Amino acid sequence: MPQCGVELEPNQFYCSVCLDLLKDPVTIQCGHTYCRSCIEGCWDQEKEKGTYSCPQCRETFSPRPVLGRNNMLAEVMHPRCCF
């Protein structure tokens, strides 16, 4: 019988900037996810240009996007309780 569900790729849990497990994961408009501190650090370096880009796909954003927490990945990475 076929199984329904979501298959998770291990690389979904790693930040492509620091190459470590995601810490305080945020997803930007293009759909890529980073550690909050990593993407903020990247964008702080681009501040003078006035445009901000995704480190993976290079899509640009102006003005600087507001970052929101990726609650689903945050819960997978650091569950609040154990059974």
DSSP per residue, 1-32: -PPPS-PPPGGGGB-TTT-SB-SSEEE-TTS-
CA proximity to 49, closest of 62, 38, 37? 62
Residue 56 phi, psi dihedral angles, 5° rounding: -90, -55
Per-residue pLDDT of the chain (83 residues; tens, 9 = 90+): 555 666 666 677 899 999 999 999 999 999 999 999 999 999 999 999 989 999 999 999 999 999 989 888 888 777 666 55
4 is a domain residue: no
Question: Contact at 8 Å (CB) between 27 and 33?
Answer: yes
CATH code of 38's domain: 3.30.40.10
Domain count, the chain: 1
62 is a domain residue: yes
pTM of the predicted model as reported, rounded to 2 decimal places: 0.79
Question: Contact at 8 Å (CB) between 28 and 56?
Answer: no
Domain that holds residue 27: 11-77
44 is a domain residue: yes
